[in-house]
Structure formats: structure tokens, C-alpha cells
Structure 1
């Protein structure tokens, strides 16, 4: 069991959320897929729903209407979960974002006593959040079935991204000998911990932070996704896991993987 009991170090993916237009349908799908339970957040007057695994938060569902229309139009990258990266000083990290060429969609702001957050778009157009946890740490279970295991940035323009993220989070870049033919670099915190990577993809594809959920059985998860109203690609074996891409009933795509 991989419980998180304190704020993650700065630069670590710490929370994921999804904008949804139909909360009932979203909770039905993800409950069937991952066995999650759900709780409306009191701090947001019921406008935000926590996804729970064994009673602990592992993700969030954010009603589209909970955003200001102008911000939603500017920030939303349709079709993907949003990742929040931990920081011990949201305001200072937001300043580093601007200095490195990013933009702020939502400036740093308090969310009750839960924490302080912001929404950012990087120089290649990928959106992510900043999170300085207080009462809400972020994902309290990771790296086990039904929870977040990894986030990677895919972009047709990896050069500016590889300059931006080290400037903001002090990451170091490292090649991947397991994928010699891929345009891929690891992102590592100053302590050497790998937090994800940047993958160059063909022109014409959007720049997005992708989300990988761990599952116990990829083939069974694919079957549940289809039965619950989603679609899925065929599972395939990789060096790291047996993986598949799933698209929920709203068109949001993500990956699932069962490690050997």
C-alpha cells in the first residue's frame, strides 16, 4: 500500500482532476472502472467531488460550470485529466512560471483551508496546476491499482518544454536507454527522483500532460471500460507494463497499466 501522509516535495505530481459536464455519469463510469467511491467537497459547497479509494482521496472531478466561463474557455484542453505539481510556495513558483515563458490561467489563490493553487499553461501549450497543500495534501494513495502512477508530457515541440520545466522546478534531464529510438527525456527532482518525462511526438498533436493509472489487470479494466460506456484500445505489452488507452464517455483519454 502506497499511502501519502505529507505534502510531496516540490516538483512532484501530486493531484489529478477532470472537468466533467455530467457528474452522475462520470461517477458511474469511474466507479465501475476503478472501484472508486465519491464525496462532494464541503469546502467548495458541493461543487467539487473527491474520488476515494479505501476512503482516501486519489483524484477530483470538477464540474465545468464551477469555472468562470472565460477561464474555462482559455484553459481547458479537452480530453485529458489535469495534473497538479506540488510546490511549497505557490506564489514564488507562479513567478518562476512567468519568468520562464509560461502564462497563468488562474493566479495563485486559496481554496478554503485545503491549500493554495494556480493553473498554468507552459510555452508549448500544455496546461497543469500548482498545488501547495494544507489540509488537502493531494493524492493520498499512489502507485497501486486504482490510483495515479505516472504523468508524462507529450508535445510536438519538446525543446521549449525541456527548457521551461527545469527553470521552474529545478529538474534535471536524463535520457532513457530503454527507448533509444524515442525522443524521450526523464524529468528528475534535484534529489534524483524521477517524476515523469517529456516525449516528442509528431507535429499536429496537442501538447498535454498524460495520466497513467495503475490497474491489477489491464485486459479486465479494458472490458469494464467498454461495458461502462467508454472505449479502449487493444492492450499491449511494453518494457514497463501491459498498457492500454481508454476514453471515457465524455471523450477524455488516459492510460492504464498493470506492472509485471
Structure 2
């Protein structure tokens, strides 16, 4: 069963070093990490789950360069579940937001799409197949 439209379902955290970031979040919060099911190298991205299923789609530590940390590209992103990516992007744009990407497949699981809100904060949309 898919989450309700608008539910936060995932979190992406930028890190300079995925192993160091994973060690930190494991020690502090008890998060469990694993390689990406998409075959992305572990030094580029690690997938995690959090207690109590707060983010049903899980999350990712994404390796970024030093210069990206202080930019929108380097900020944490919340992923919101939507029933329809195109309709959600249309609402975002018509309310002062910006479409950042076209839909991006996540294997056979679903699709991501990135946007900026009216204040320039970068987030993601997620739709299960």
C-alpha cells in the first residue's frame, strides 16, 4: 500500500565521506546502512533505514565535494510521496516553485523527481511504480 499523498518518505544527507557519515549516524542514532540496490559504489552512496519506519522509503548518505556542501546541491533533502509526479510538479511550479529534474527511475521500484520550493529549498518527490 502506498503512503498518503504528501507523506515524507525519504531523506538524503550530503556527506564528504560515506563511511565516516555512516559511522557517525550508526553511533549516534543506531541507523543501519547497506549498499545501494542500484549498484552505485559505496563511496558514493549508502542507503539507510531509521527506527519506527519514519521514512518508509529509507534514506541515503550521498557523497558530495567540499564546494557542494554549502549549496542547494549539498543540503539535506526530504522526499515527499506523491500519487502523480506530473501533477505535483505542475502544482509546485504554479505556486512559485521550480522543477529541477525530469523523473529519474530507481530501478523497478519507482521514480524520483527534484524540485525547489518557493524559497529555493531543494527537495525530492517519490512515486512507487
TM-score (norm 1): 0.40
Question: How far off is 1:250 after superposition?
Answer: 1.2
Q: Unmatched 5+ residue regions in structure 1?
A: 3-142
> Does 2:123 match 1:254?
yes
Partner of 1:169: 29
**Residue 197 (1) aligns with residue 57 (2):** no
Q: Distance in 2 between matches of 1:221 and 1:190?
A: 28
Q: Alignment partner of 1:238: what SS?
A: strand
What's the secondary structure of 1:249's corresponding residue?
Answer: coil
TM normalised by structure 2 equals 0.74
Bigger radius of gyration among the two:
1
Alignment match of 2:94 (pick from 227, 234, 237): 227
Root-mean-square deviation (Å): 2.7
Structure 2 Cα separation of the partners of residues 171 and 147 of structure 1: 21
Residue segments in structure 2 that go unaligned for 5+ positions in a row? none
What is the CA-CA distance between 1:150 and the residue it aligns to?
A: 0.8
Following TM superposition, by how much is the alpha carbon of 1:236 offset from its aligned partner in structure 2, in angstroms? 1.9
- Structure with the bigger RCO (C-alpha within 8 Å, sep 6+) is 2
Q: Distance in 2 between matches of 1:254 and 1:216?
A: 16
